[in-house]
Amino acid sequence: MCNSSVPPGAFKLGSSAQPLLDGLVGIFGEGLGTKVLALLAVAGLIASFHTIIYAYGRNIYSLSRAGYFPRWLSITHGARKTPHVALIVGGVIGLVLALFMNYVFGTASYVGAALLNMAVFGAVISYTMQGLSFYMLRRDFPTIDRPYVSPLGNVGAIACMAIALLTLVYMFLNEAYRPGLWGALIWYALGVLYFAATEHRKKSAR
């Protein structure tokens, strides 16, 4: 951790395992405010992984219902009606991959960094697609009834896409981020190829 009496410079923050917290400590000291901000940051990180768990369970369930994954992956719980099979299978696959990376590369910090960067990679792709969808809907369906109208309009959507894509570029420029990013990119590419091949078989069978 950086010395709180001396503001940390770019070199120290660049080599820190917790640059946000070290930067806050360097500016505000190790007081209650810094600890509260650190707690909020940790809560946000935990919430993001909970959201990912919800998302992968729902995605596996939906893809199974659509015929892209085996049908048994869309079995829901008898009482709670949750896609418990998809949640369990997705969790087991994620745990196996995390253990594989841990034993191959030998450090838990590498696994944590890879998983975090994969999540951020998926997030910036999602933000880009959301901005693009917003722009296309406003362009193609200008008179459709909208319960909520964005005050920033197309300018906000374009700015969102630009920031997300710029973030993605800078992530690839950081050597420490690349393993997780390349892993996510390869997984995305395989998913697109699988979708294309499966959709082609469906059309041929009709």
Please tell me whether residues 85 and 165 are part of one structural domain: no
Other beta carbons within 10 angstroms of residue 183's beta carbon come to: 17
Please tell me whether residues 89 and 165 are part of one structural domain: no
Please tell me whether residues 114 and 172 are part of one structural domain: yes
Q: What is the mean pLDDT of each run of 10 residues along the chain (206 residues)?
A: 54 67 74 77 78 88 90 90 92 86 71 77 90 93 87 92 91 79 87 83 64
Please tell me whether residues 182 and 111 are part of one structural domain: yes
Q: Which amino acid is at 20?
A: L
Give the domain range for residue 126: 107-199
Q: pLDDT tens digit string along 151-176?
A: 898 999 999 999 999 998 888 887 77
Please tell me whether residues 136 and 183 are part of one structural domain: yes
59 closest CA partner among 31, 32, 90: 90
Q: What is the tally of structural domains in the chain?
A: 2
Residue 76 lies in a domain: yes
CB-based contact 124:164 (threshold 8 Å): yes
Residue 8 lies in a domain: no
- The pLDDT value given to residue 204: 62
Please tell me whether residues 129 and 170 are part of one structural domain: yes
When computed from its CA atoms, the radius of gyration of the chain, rounded to whole angstroms, is 21
What token pair was written down for 150? 């964005």
How open is the CA angle 166-51-193, to the nearest 5 degrees?
60
Instruction: State the sign of the Cα–Cα–Cα–Cα dihedral 55, 56, 57, 59.
Output: positive
